[in-house]
Amino acid sequence: MSLHARIRKLWRSIAPRTPSDVEEEFRTTLDAYQEDLIRQGLSEEEARCKARIDLGRPAAQNETYRDAVGLRFFDELSGDIRYGLRGLLKNPGFSAVAIVSLALGIGATTSMFSLLYAVLLHPVPYADWQRLTYPSYLNDDQPGSPEWWFSLNWPQYQQLLEASTIEDVVGSTNVNSEVTGRDLPEDVTLTYITENVDAFLRVPAMLGRNIQRSDAESTGGQPIVLSFDFWMRHYNGDRAVLNRTLEIDHKPYTVVGVMPRDYAWERDLYVPMSLLPTRERLSVLPVMKLKPGVSLAAADAEIGALLHHFAKDAPQQFPTRFRMRLEHIADRILLSVGHTLVELVVAVLLLLVVGCTNCSILLLARGMSRQSEFAVRSALGASRPRIVRQLLVESLVLAVTGSLLGILLAFWMAKLIFGLFPDVFMHESVIRINLPVLAFSVVLAVISGLLFGLLPSLGMARPDIAQMMQTLGRKVAGGKGQARSLNLLIAAQIALTVVLMGAAGVAISGFLKMTHRDFGYDPAHLMSVPLPFHRHSLFTREQRVEYIETLRRKIATVPGVTQIAISADATPPDSGESRPFEILGAPFTQKQFMRAEFTDAAYFAALRIPLLEGRLWDATENARGAAVCIINQTLARAYFPHGNAVGSRIRLPDLEIPAVNPGELVGVPDTTGWLQVIGVVADSLDNGLDKPVLPAVYVPYARFMWEFTQFLIRTDGPPLAALHPIQLAIQSINSDQQTERNVRDLEQWIAQEPEVQQQRLFSILFGLFSSLALALALVGLYSVVSYSVAQRTNEFGIRMALGAQRAHVLSIVSRSIGLTVVCGLAAGLVLFVALHSLLIHIADSSGSNPFILVGVVALFLFSAALACTIPAMRATSIDPMQAIRYE
Amino acid sequence: MTKPVELPQGTLEVLILKAVSLGPLHGYGILLRIQQISGERLEILQGSFYTAIYRLERQGWIRGEWGESENNRRARFYSLTAAGTRQLKAETAKWIDMAAVVAGILNKKADEI
């Protein structure tokens, strides 16, 4: 038997018979009986009658059949659904508002939950990510500083592999390299990674494969794996990239794989560690996978002991005093955005509750005007469960429609949020609406359907038939109990809306405060152009200074360039490096930290940081790396309260040229010597946008030089437009000199800072959610006022016919709803203040602003008045005669 | 003619199974067959007759198929399925058993107890 026939047979065995089939069979029986009766001597008409009396009507037979085979429940249910749908379609305004309220609530909740899931519950795609740790420790030489990461040399790395608490370790070394063999060199990070990486992370490659253990031994060809970003940037997402040759630092590599987008272990390119000669494996960053069940404390103890052992042999590699503090790789994400996301999820849950309340209000108001209908049904014999079921079916129809729409909305919103604010979240987290999230929203829909369906239906399912029948044909004001629950719902909705609006106010004012604070420098028309120096070139300090000054003179000739400054990494808003310092004549404490910034004297003019006292150093002082410095105002105020800063002496005791890798750092022999303070400049941001300015000291850049430098270039137009001519100018001096990829416009830099983005996202979402809640609350208010006005149209007609003024009628309407609004508002304010003070207590965020509350109350009262007045005005504009006749 | 008998609840089904077990019948044929076997003592011309047939078919004890009736009309013929046969056997045993027990009790005289 074919499959088709099998299915047809199966269906025939379970499917109910068709009505015509049932009727035809019944008719043959009826006819046979009728003929028998005629044969017994009855007339044809008598026989027809008797047969129908004895057996029943053919038309009703299908119902008997469905009842007999147990389909009646479904028939009734589908009747309920059809009736409910017809009712909803007859009131498109009501249905649309109810469905949209739910869809907004469910959509917002689902999208935020998806974000939360992506970031908190499944932050990275790596296998066993709960057991992966960064190599972090606390530097007790600098107490209070954040955790540091250590790297190891190759023999140390191999000893670490032996540790009993560790399952495996992936080691990597980044090298600044360039893609060669093309017209312009392209700056890339080349990551030498140990060949166990594929088995360690178990992330399937998007194309080809990752670096594998077999790469350690193979001698033929040099395999290279591309990151998603590099693949998109360099190959434009070309899928035919495998086996192509990529030239890095004039050496050919064969592309063997492209990793997926959420694999962001390092930035650009991965090659096997075996390609790096063992003697060059001096700085391997170890990421550890702990054995199952091993606690961080146990791992800290073992690895800490191992590291202290290493430190004995290589004291320059580690601080003098340190403690292990291994960190799970997901901890940073939890710290940075977890808190914000949890607050947002609470906000959307509030929005969901407002949406459900709105639906409940609408259903209750609608149900109250349907009381006569229920009375009639009840009088005709409908049982209480039957009426409750009808109402539940109607609200579930709303809930299902609303949640389907909400899921669509959630898809769109989660994508939008992630697309708009990519930097807020870790690169590894990719948002998808997945099964748990879908389940969450479906459960949410059903619960909310039952929640808001049950509340009105319980109150209405037992109508007072006698009273209803007497007043039938005349609209009656709803019962006291229902009116009370309606008012309660509205007040609750208003209270929650006010809480959300208050939270939005706090978020937005926080964002404004952050972006409108006094930066202390002028980021407009300014860009930073970082330049890496080549390995094994420019060995001496003098060579580097000469090279930098040559480049500076050349860049100055580019049209549009107005000012050029040089700084190692002194680019605000997060500039310099945290270092301990010592003041001559003052007791030295370990806890004294400031930002050390290596700049030239033009830095202050280019960034428009005013000199407050003393003088700047000149070009010859810079060139010889003179022992002078300039301090910022914060440092001067904190340590020289009597204004005697200029002329004092400061020392940076840890500024040493390390014994390893002597080529990396160059400087004057006496780098740790005393520096004379020659000037004081105004403060500018050096510790991020949201934290206070730290003490800072500016030192001539030629005193201490890394393998890179950075030009800060001010232009008269948009700065990035001048980048290409500047790069050409640099190439004309040294054709091998690339500029690093992260050239940045300082104004955009601020906008892209994670804390700014985060705060902006926070305020946009809070603003969005609270305005949605406000809109919902106003619609609820509007519909309730319209409803109560419609109920009392007769009464108003009589009043006006008897001479009541419009204003009087208006005041009656607003008085009844006004009390509810004010109560809700007050409750909301109290709740908000309580929550807010709790929040400040927990999160240690900035204090509240009384203007926010005033603004919220004013905005709410204004819009609430509008929502009430429109239906009230409509009521009073009715012709009294019409109103009296109105049904 | 003897007196008509009222059917206790649930007996109609087993009678239909019995009627059909003797050979395929259409609805009206079942009706006539039962009346005939009972010696015209059963009046079952009620709406409940077809309800019972529908229920038996749904349960899979009888199977209906369209065919030609004796006077060349289209009619739906019912026949017993394997499950129906088993059911009929069980129900018959139950009835006979029960009837025997009840009759035994009712026939007892005072001196026999």
What DSSP line would sit under A246-315, residue for residue?
EEETTEEEEEEEE--TT--SSSSEEEEGGGS-GGG---BEEEEEEPTT--HHHHHHHHHHHHHHHHHH-G
Q: Single out the residue of A283, A333, A313 nearest to residue A135, CA to CA.
A: A283
**What pLDDT was estimated at residue A747?**
83
> Nearest-CA distance from A381 to chain B in Å?
23
Of residues A819 and B43, the one with the higher pLDDT is A819
Residue to substitute from B50, B69, B72, B77, interface A, most A β-carbons within 10 A:
B50
What confidence tier does B72 reach under pLDDT thresholds 50, 70, 90? confident
Instruction: Give the DSSP H or E segment for A166.
Output: strand A166-179
Q: What separation in angstroms does the CA of A296 have from each of A133, A300, A304?
A: 9, 6, 11
Beta strands in A568-659 (DSSP E): 577-580, 582-583, 593-599, 611-614, 628-632, 649-651
User: A58 to chain B: nearest residue by CA?
Assistant: B47
Please check whether residue A351 is in contact with residue A769, taking contact to mean a CB–CB distance below 8 angstroms: yes
Is residue A868's pLDDT more than 70?
yes
Least-confidence region, from A79-88, A663-672, A722-731: A663-672
**What pLDDT was estimated at residue A445?**
67
Q: Average the pLDDT over A332-343 and give the result.
A: 68
What sign results for the dihedral spanned by CA atoms A587, A589, A594, A597?
positive
User: Are B51 and A69 a contacting pair at CB < 8 A?
Assistant: no
Of residues A528 and A736, the one with the higher pLDDT is A528
Residue to substitute from A10, A24, A26, A29, interface B, most B β-carbons within 10 A:
A29
Distance CA A128, CA A329 (A): 11
Residues of chain B with C-beta less than 8 angstroms from the C-beta of A37: none
**What pLDDT was estimated at residue A335?**
67
Is residue A458's pLDDT more than 80?
no
Residues of chain A with C-beta less than 8 angstroms from the C-beta of B69: 28, 32
User: Are B50 and A65 a contacting pair at CB < 8 A?
Assistant: yes
Residues of chain B with C-beta less than 8 angstroms from the C-beta of A24: 74
Residues of chain A with C-beta less than 8 angstroms from the C-beta of B73: 28, 31
User: Are A29 and B26 a contacting pair at CB < 8 A?
Assistant: yes
User: A67 to chain B: nearest residue by CA?
Assistant: B51
Residue to substitute from A24, A55, A72, interface B, most B β-carbons within 10 A:
A55
Residues of chain B with C-beta less than 8 angstroms from the C-beta of A29: 26-28, 31, 50
Residues of chain B with C-beta less than 8 angstroms from the C-beta of A28: 26-28, 69, 73-76
Of residues A405 and A885, the one with the higher pLDDT is A405
Q: Average the pLDDT over A723-748 and give the result.
A: 83
Q: How many residues does chain A have?
A: 887
Q: What percent of chain A has pLDDT over 70?
A: 85
User: Are A28 and B50 a contacting pair at CB < 8 A?
Assistant: no
Instruction: Give the DSSP H or E segment for A3.
Output: helix A3-14
Residues of chain B with C-beta less than 8 angstroms from the C-beta of A70: 58
**What pLDDT was estimated at residue A181?**
76
Q: Single out the residue of A522, A395, A382 nearest to residue A455, CA to CA.
A: A395
**What pLDDT was estimated at residue A610?**
92
Burial annotation A348-379 (CB, 10 A radius, 16+ → b, else e): bbbbbbbbbbbbbbbbbbbbbebbbebbebbe
> Nearest-CA distance from A112 to chain B in Å?
50
Is residue B38's pLDDT more than 90?
no
Of B26, B27, B47, the CB nearest to A56: B47
Q: Average the pLDDT over A53-57 and give the result.
A: 79
User: Are B76 and A25 a contacting pair at CB < 8 A?
Assistant: yes
Distance CA A681, CA A883 (A): 78
> Nearest-CA distance from B7 to chain A in Å?
17
> Nearest-CA distance from B23 to chain A in Å?
18
- CA angle A560/A561/A566 to nearest 5° reads 165
Residue to substitute from B33, B42, B54, interface A, most A β-carbons within 10 A:
B54
For β-strands A245-248 and A132-134, DSSP reports them as unpaired
The amino acid at residue A245 is T
Residue to substitute from A20, A65, A66, interface B, most B β-carbons within 10 A:
A65
Q: Single out the residue of A584, A195, A463, A145 nearest to residue A321, CA to CA.
A: A145
Please check whether residue A530 is in contact with residue A860, taking contact to mean a CB–CB distance below 8 angstroms: no
Q: Single out the residue of A783, A827, A782, A819 nearest to residue A496, CA to CA.
A: A827
**What pLDDT was estimated at residue A169?**
92
What confidence tier does A476 reach under pLDDT thresholds 50, 70, 90? very low
What confidence tier does A721 reach under pLDDT thresholds 50, 70, 90? confident
- CA angle A864/A108/A777 to nearest 5° reads 15
**What pLDDT was estimated at residue A477?**
46
For β-strands A327-328 and A132-134, DSSP reports them as antiparallel
Residues of chain A with C-beta less than 8 angstroms from the C-beta of B55: 68-69
The phi and psi torsions of A814 (rounded to 5 degrees) equal: -70, -30
Q: Single out the residue of B34, B76, B48, B80 nearest to residue B61, CA to CA.
A: B80
User: Are B51 and A67 a contacting pair at CB < 8 A?
Assistant: yes
What confidence tier does A473 reach under pLDDT thresholds 50, 70, 90? very low
Average confidence score pLDDT of chain B: 83
Residues of chain B with C-beta less than 8 angstroms from the C-beta of A40: none
Of residues A458 and A25, the one with the higher pLDDT is A25
Q: Single out the residue of A343, A352, A356, A349 nearest to residue A504, CA to CA.
A: A343
For β-strands A186-193 and A207-208, DSSP reports them as unpaired
User: Are B47 and A70 a contacting pair at CB < 8 A?
Assistant: no
Is residue A663's pLDDT more than 60?
no
Average confidence score pLDDT of chain A: 81
**What pLDDT was estimated at residue B93?**
92
- In eight-state DSSP terms, residue A722 is G
Which residues, 6 or more positions from A171, have their beta carbon under 8 angstroms from its beta carbon?
A152, A157, A193, A194, A273, A284, A285, A286, A287
User: Are B75 and A28 a contacting pair at CB < 8 A?
Assistant: yes
What confidence tier does B89 reach under pLDDT thresholds 50, 70, 90? very high
Which residues, 6 or more positions from A114, have their beta carbon under 8 angstroms from its beta carbon?
A410, A414, A431, A432, A433, A434, A437
Residues of chain B with C-beta less than 8 angstroms from the C-beta of A55: 45, 47, 49-50
Residues of chain B with C-beta less than 8 angstroms from the C-beta of A65: 50, 54
Q: Single out the residue of A416, A706, A787, A714 nearest to residue A563, CA to CA.
A: A714
**What pLDDT was estimated at residue A628?**
93
User: Are A56 and B51 a contacting pair at CB < 8 A?
Assistant: no
User: Are B50 and A32 a contacting pair at CB < 8 A?
Assistant: no
pTM greater than 0.80: no
Burial annotation A380-410 (CB, 10 A radius, 16+ → b, else e): eeeeeeebbbbbbbbbbbbbbbbbbbbbebb
**How buried is A557 (Cβ within 10 angstroms: 0-12 exposed, 13-18 middle, 19+ buried)?**
exposed
